[in-house]
Structure 1
């Protein structure tokens, strides 16, 4: 092989190496920039999410507090039923915000909590009606009243469990700053 051919082949090899190195470097920089952008996006979403989750938990706790003192149908008064209904209506304001803030796991839990609150709110109406029936008829307790009363504490405990699970998942979501992408 003569010196001219060797020089040309060396130049071509050097050019290929330079192009390959430049491509590898640019690819690594692109990936790094993409990861940094995603992490920054997650950080920017953290504060609004935190506020939405906090508002949702506040409403969920107000709903729980509305049930304080209602251990059975005899404690269900018309005033208590109205208080429970008002606490439930507050979910209408915060539910969509949680759904938009995401992620899906948090949104699904929030919807489940809202549905349980709706069921408990309807139960308050039935407990109140049962309370009225028992007061009027004194000794006669209808089977449907007994069934609602027996399910009441289980449903309330399930609601509290879902709120605790929401808190845990929301906290994990807020703690994820995108650095583990």
Structure 2
């Protein structure tokens, strides 16, 4: 190989290496900027999400505390099942507070947290329907039969347990969403 050809090939190899290094550097800088932007975006969303998630968890936990004992009944009608009108009104008000908070949590995202938040809102409604039905049955036991009572009690028990599980699932998903700093895809 003559010296001229070697010089041209050397210059060509140097140019290709320089272009490759420039492309790799540009790609790395672009990826770094993307990660930084994603991280900053998630950091800016974390505080509002935290507030919305906290409010929903507080409201859902209060409803759970008001109705959670229904998950532990057997087929017998307990003597202390009857709720007075004030208790029923408080349970219904607590449930009404959950729906808008669940919508806020769904809008705050991410999608998996929103799905669980909306499921929690639906289950809170179902829970209140069955709990209030049981309370009404208990206030006038002559108006029900065992089959109706048994069905309502089984549904209240099932929905109460499901509600508790969904609340736990929401808390877990919310924690995961708040821990995400955006550095991973």
TM-score computed with the length of structure 2 as normaliser: 0.83
CA contact (8 A) 2:103 2:118 kept: no
2:153 corresponds, among 149, 164, 168, to 149
CA distance in 1, matches of 2:3, 2:165: 81
Q: Secondary structure of 1:180's match? A: coil
Q: Deviations over 1:116-167 (max 9, x none)?
A: 1101111133123313431xx3xx6412123212332332122112111211
Q: Deviations over 1:77-126 (max 9, x none)?
A: 22221111100110132121111111222111111111111011111331
> Are the structure 2 counterparts of residues 15 and 119 from structure 1 closer, same or farther at C-alpha, using a change threshold of 3 Å?
same
The runs of 5 or more residues in structure 2 that have no matched partner are none
CA contact (8 A) 2:39 2:183 kept: yes
Q: Offset at 1:174?
A: 1.0
CA distance in 2, matches of 1:110, 1:5: 70
Partner of 1:31: 31
Give the ranges of 4+ consecutive aligned residues of structure 1 lying more than 3 Å apart after TM superposition: 1-6, 68-74
TM-score computed with the length of structure 1 as normaliser: 0.85
CA-atom RMSD in angstroms: 2.3
The runs of 5 or more residues in structure 1 that have no matched partner are none
Partner of 1:19: 19
Alignment of 1:1-181 (within 5 A): 1-67=1-67, 72=78, 74-134=81-141, 137=142, 141-142=144-145, 143-181=147-185
**Number of positions where the alignment pairs a residue of Structure 1 with one of Structure 2:** 177
The answer to which of 144-153 and 67-76 deviates more is: 67-76
